[in-house]
Structure 1
Amino acid sequence: RLLTADGTPVGPGGAALADLARADLSGLDPRLPGIDLVLAGDVDNPLTGPKGAAAVYGPQKGADEDDVRTLDAALTHYVRVLADS
């Protein structure tokens, strides 16, 4: 579960990831830490940066430059919080 600082779930939308304070991983299957996951996708973009998800797909969905910057920052924050979880 993705939670804010007061313990409530993060709201909908990518920009809401800026409110993420911690990830509660207690509900995950306890066998997960012992396995490697291989994921497949139909794109080869990084998550963040000038060729990242927000920069590439945001404008296709109607995001302006400010929206793209906000979403990219929120995604960067998301990665940092998950890495610390």
Structure 2
Amino acid sequence: MIRLCERCYTPIERGEDHVSFAHIHRAHRDGSITWRYSHVHTAPCGAPAARRSAAEPPDTGDWDPARRAFSPAAARWVARATERAERAGRGR
């Protein structure tokens, strides 16, 4: 399976730091669920989510089709995970 980063659209190589998310795409009548998966590079693509200008309107979590499956809450989680990894010395 080829995993593409939701931010930079480049492939995520095996062993490269990244975060994966699973979102419910569709619930079927028989009770089964179709999942949609998204992936983001941890350090280079997750870090910009933590830096927002004070002039920008607050991110209320509304769906933005330009982000595809990458939600605002996911961006905040990636940013926090990146900060924790950098503090622990694993941010490479």
- Normalised to the residue count of structure 1, the TM-score between the two structures is 0.31
Q: Which structure has more RCO (C-alpha within 8 Å, separation ≥ 6)?
A: 1
Indicate the structure with greater helix content.
Answer: 1
- Normalised to the residue count of structure 2, the TM-score between the two structures is 0.29
Indicate the structure with greater strand content.
Answer: 2
